[in-house]
Structure 1
């Protein structure tokens, strides 16, 4: 049970192996336990319970004994005077596992049976850890491919941060859409679930929302149409979305929210306003129902923050506290360039152990009017 726990709680494959070796050392009260993976590299990869130990530092006879284990059948223990070794499958190649008991006692027949059983269990656990690593990387590559890189309109900055391992990539997204009349569509959304499935659903919803905005630049009608689309996509129900249309010349913002956390508008005078109007249920909960719409003005030098709940939601803390903290972070950096501010907000709100949910963030700073001073001419 302890071996299973350390394998499932590890953040990645190397950590899973290190934790398993420590567990085996404790079980046998061994002097040391080490594992050598014979991959395609020139030097085998060594993991040991002794910190800093390398393959080259092992005695020549031990290196040869570990190499010879590769010729043995899988999960068949080999004994010598100080311990036992066994060969098992690792995702990167054959792995020799050695348990060194020192001069405590010989390796009994019961020890051999237990080593064989645990080595088989370890091989399965390492395979699962490797598969989880691969799925996470595929989902992250897909997520980043969908989100960008792209040319952002003037005044915008975006960030995406996946959850800290071993948690998976989720379905958060952001988007800016240049509309035919010169206005800009802005979207931030959050699909339910994690992993490759959530990233795939996110890609479908993001593309559909972009197309709908280009067809009808009304946030409420866009979300109504997206309701119907999401109802036919498995896994899309209860997705939250903030959809807005911004006039960059006047700062007028029209928006509608499908159950999404409120946008934050930080004014240059230090006050903060939550964009909590135009709010209705998440996508596909009640398709066909008319959605409300709200509007506000983004004044010169003001900063708009849109985000997903991973930025502000923490266990055993009210959501409003996280939203307040986000507003304070934007105000604290109101003199920073907008791209620098995006980094500052992500760093300031990050938990000590990293984000436990993925985060999408979009910032917009409305420009100040152009001011020019001309010297007075004496003739005028």
Structure 2
């Protein structure tokens, strides 16, 4: 029998890719981590975990640990909310931007990093302004070559085509869909398919409390951290406010304050206050270089005094990366948002592979990170 047994429940962000992608990413990063740490980490075959999820075993041979990793599947729900029609995407984006702009509490939002505000509005502005900009740049040569009527038409078509290519390259359409979906989440009721799935996930996690695990981690990434709020609220309610000491919540690249700062989000705010009042360990890792998260802001901001034991930190990638690696990763903003799940040139005590596969409990990993960074 292994010396240390861990159960992990992983909830991805607003991503139509499912368990196959995330298992492949984990396997690749485990191999890199193992080569750096001098440890052999085995990642098993993916299996179905009814009703909606998938799972696989992880074994750190040298540390003598065994992990059951459950991918909480909701990619089918994401695809159902993935706006495909270009005109529909544009119209719903405008509505979502209008709602966020007029309904957020700007006394909270002004504390957000500037990179977050730019990343939030950049896709919408780009989708509208880029066609105009590129069209104007192309209008003069095309009008000279084709005449007024055909030249202006060609400039408009070419401007739109180039703008769409640029917005796609910067993952702007994904961000627009993210904004639309979170505008829906800010309403008084979750969509039925989302609500039903989160109830199922809460019941699945709670069932593990009766099982023989040394540690249970609920790990969420990106939009999954927002959806962790109704799940956690249900878990806390079912456990009379105090979750097992061997349980921890880990939020990576989180944007919870995006919904928490909406003045009209009464349901979500009540759930978030309930989560903040719960007694459990919470690790929240966000980087200022990641515009798709909200770094350095307490996820329970604007609510009553928090009881949850929250340790919020930057991953400090600059410390654990060679300079060339760090600069290269910073240039790709989309991939930066997934770097929380990756390993680096030097091993951080809070490296994702380390905390998910190793024998050290999360509380000890946090303590080691604090000592390593004089926090």
Name whichever structure is richer in strand by fraction. 1
- Structure showing the higher helix proportion among its residues: 2
Do these two structures clear the TM 0.5 threshold for a shared fold by scoring above it? no
Largest Rg, 1 or 2: 1
Which bin holds the TM-score, normalised by the shorter protein?
under 0.3
- Name the TM-score, length of structure 1 as normaliser: 0.21
| Bigger relative CO (Cα 8 Å, ≥ 6 apart) | 2
